[in-house]
Amino acid sequence: MAKETVAKDVVIIGAGMAGLTAALYAGRSNLSTIVLENELVGGQIANATGIENYPGFMSVKGGDLMATVQAQAEAVGVVVDEFDLVKRVNLASVPKIVETEEHIYEAKTVILATGMKRRKMPLPEAARYEDRGIHYCELCDGHMYQDKVIVVMGGGNAAVDAANYLTRYAKKLYLIHRSELRADEVSQKRLYANPAVTVMLQTEITALAGEKRLESIQVLHKDTGKSEELPVDAIFVNIGVVPNTELFRGQIRLTESGRIPAGEDCRTEIPGVFAAGDVREKEIRQLTTAAADGTTAALLAERYIRQLED
């Protein structure tokens, strides 16, 4: 069966803060717009239990915030489709082609807002224990470990926030990181103040053990050179992220880190193609900067389309 060909002014790939903000502004500019998402609508921030640094909110759940932005975009005619996976793109063609499992979209402009995914645990046996003790989403899976021993691996904001969240379930929680913590001071203080938490810095997880599920880990204390075995029920891994750009490899230039080079105007090397949010090579990556990128990309996409029509 032949795929349906659909013409759009704007195709946005990725439904995180950058993509949905771009959709909101594109829709308000009366551009026919669709947002395609291969994973979770809302992006990684949808899992955040309490965002306290987004203007206008003292505290807001990530899922609630992203649902609101999605509703705003849909209210101005934007279609958000998370069930038709993107399989192929041709960004250099005119019009640009975005092919999904069911459709071929011909777009005047494309906004790449695919964000990032969490880096996997770098131990060869880790895959054996995925969903059997090793997890990457505390909001999704934390409830499975009520009154259990939980480890959080990592030292940035995501790791410390995950640890603080998981203390509601854990009988005992270890935060293990190979160097020093990089998280906000407020989050660190909250973690250190919890009597159920032990923070192990300058420490690496070197081995995993367990029959059918994870049962224990071996850790190396780098400052003393001593190893220790810890009985644990789960590890939640927060050791960094990888940009979701494999779909565009060979289509557009990528940096050494795998991100898309684009300036503050979000324009890429290909006219009519914009990069927004964490997928764009930039120094600061925050929820507010993702929203700013989405705004910029959509407004300049609208300008690009008007220039084509003129």
Cα distance between residue 143 and residue 81, in whole Å: 29
The active-site residue out of 140, 161, 223, 293 is: 140
**Strands 79-81 vs 134-135: parallel, antiparallel or unpaired:** unpaired
Cα distance between residue 28 and residue 207, in whole Å: 53
**Strands 134-135 vs 234-237: parallel, antiparallel or unpaired:** parallel
Structure tokens at 255: 């940096």
Report whether the peptide linkage leading into residue 95 is cis, meaning its omega lies within 30 degrees of zero: yes
Main-chain phi, psi angles of 2, to 5 degrees: -70, 145
Alpha helix (H) ranges present in the chain?
A: 17-28, 62-75, 138-141, 157-166, 185-192, 287-309
Structure tokens at 96: 């640009």
Alpha helix (H) ranges present in 53-171?
A: 62-75, 138-141, 157-166
The active-site residue out of 9, 137, 161, 293 is: 137
Structure tokens at 274: 């914009």
Span between the terminal Cα atoms of the chain, in Å: 37
Q: Which residue has the tokens 């160097």?
A: 179
Active site residue 137: yes
Active site residue 266: no
The active-site residue out of 81, 84, 141, 184 is: 141
Q: What is the DSSP letter of 34?
A: E
Active site residue 140: yes
Q: Which residues carry out catalysis?
A: 137, 140-141
